Structure 1
Amino acid sequence: MKLLFVADPLESFKTYKDTTYAMMREAARRGHTLMACRPEDIRWQRGERVTAFVRDITLTDDPQDWFVAAQQAPDERPQVLAEVDAVLMRKDPPFDSEYFYATHLLGQAEREGARVFNRPAALRDHPEKLAILEFPQFIAPTLVTRDAADIRRFHAEHGDIILKPLDGMGGMGIFRVGADGLNLGAIIETLNREGAQTVMVQKYLPAIVHGDKRVLVIGGEPVPYSLARIPQGGEVRGNLAAGGKGVAQPLSERDLEIARALGPVLAARGLLLVGLDIIGDCLTEINVTSPTCFQEIAQQTGCDVAARYLDALERALAG
């Protein structure tokens, strides 16, 4: 198969932990042909089909110079997206305007016959923090608002709360405010920008000390191990990007309950790969843009998550 990865610059990959690299490595092992481009390399013009300027890549065994590209900028070759077997959208967040526009170009490519994973419309319809609102039975007390008074009321009700922007990633912009309300006003002003920006507020979950669990769901089926991202050094955030320690562990019964309830629903919408974030018994986020943690789980448990993903991709393409 010919696989096109739409991703961040290959030179920026940290191959010892990068999930897209793990996908590429498993695909190459199976004999598939690899291409790569960035979202900004995709174009459409009337009278033509959606095209990307791509590099044909071959993987090496060198962790530093991990790939060889047949083309270099600005001489990448044009590739019609509908003429490859699968387009894998793996651009990391944030989900900004340019990401949004890229999903529309990929949607046009779908109309022309391309197979895109995850589906562009599903990426747009599942913002990673707000997607949990569809499943209130699994989430903690949560408020989404621009209103400062509403946030203060929620704090008065729950005492210990977490505030976060809707467009953050890697733990960026997350604040905890305890019962004393210290700095609540300043934090609200920082996040809601005097009512111009919507904020998510959730009751603080003490179970975070045991980790913010990343539960991967592939083709509607949960991977049997999660990666618990455990906060370190007094941090409230477990995100690996914020210094959290990743510990792989078997899914709990509650993890399985949540994953089995959401998995088939999300898969039916074209989300081949989903990363559920669970703290204790509560779902906190649904990650769809570029879910990670393949390598950490594989290294600690021997569960080959990349192979599971390629199996699911091949089934989807054969179906």
Structure 2
Amino acid sequence: MAYDSESSSSTVRLNIGGRKFCTTLDTLTQREPDSMLAAMFSGRHTICQESEKGHIFVDRDGKHFHHILNWLRDGVIPPLKDSEYAQLLREAEYYQLLGLVDGIKSALSKRKEDEELGTELTRIDIIKCIQSERVRFRGINLSGLDLSKLDLSFVDFSYACLKTVFFSRANLQCAKFRDVDAEASIFHNATLRECEFTGANLRGAVLAGANLQSANLQDACLIGCSFCGADLRSAHLQTADLTNANLEGANLEGANLKGAKLTNANLKGANLQRAYLRHVNLRDTHLEGAKLDGANLLGAIR
């Protein structure tokens, strides 16, 4: 069938290498009018649809196609790891999305500049930077720095290398640590309320006594972390890996631990009142003296 280019708001269903997407002709044709996608749906070509639900099949890997659609909708370059940028760049070049290609190359170039700058940053440099209105250290290498007792609230550290950084007693409220590598970093008694640690590597980090109320630690690697006496009330720990973590005496009241790995985790004396523990495997977890009043334990393995 041929698509009518005048019916630009009509729905288009795509099957990209087995992954299904739904969008509009406007999205596929307006931002990058000279692209392969725009040409496919210009109305000048006949396109074969699958019999099932009318999907149009494109024989490409669909892993990053949602980023391509979001680019066509909003013109925003997604924040990704370098390896993922390389994969997305390959797809952008295939679909002849020249604007996206340029945007990815600019993002990679900026990240390289930031990394080169990051190797020279000192504590004094950080203090000067945080005096500005909005601070971003995305993708920068800050390994080994002493940033203790600083006010780093709302700072964006996403994708940065923060190995063995000292954040003790720092104010990091609402800071972003998405996908950071913070292995063995020290957050002792730090304020981390409402921080985002989604996908972060915190293996072996020390968060004892830290305030992590309502923090988002979904999908984070927390293997061997110390959370002794930490405040994790209403924290989001879905699918986090807490293997061998020490949460003795931690306050996890109302925390969401759906899908979390708690193998050999120490939760002795922890407050798990009203925590969400449905279908969590607690068989190898140390729960002596833990408070479980009102916790959702439906289907939990004990």
TM bin (shorter chain): under 0.3
Higher strand share: 1
Higher helix share: 1
Larger-Rg structure = 2
TM-score, structure 1 normalization: 0.26
- Work out which structure has the larger RCO, using CA pairs closer than 8 Å and 6 or more positions apart in sequence: 1
TM-score, structure 2 normalization: 0.27
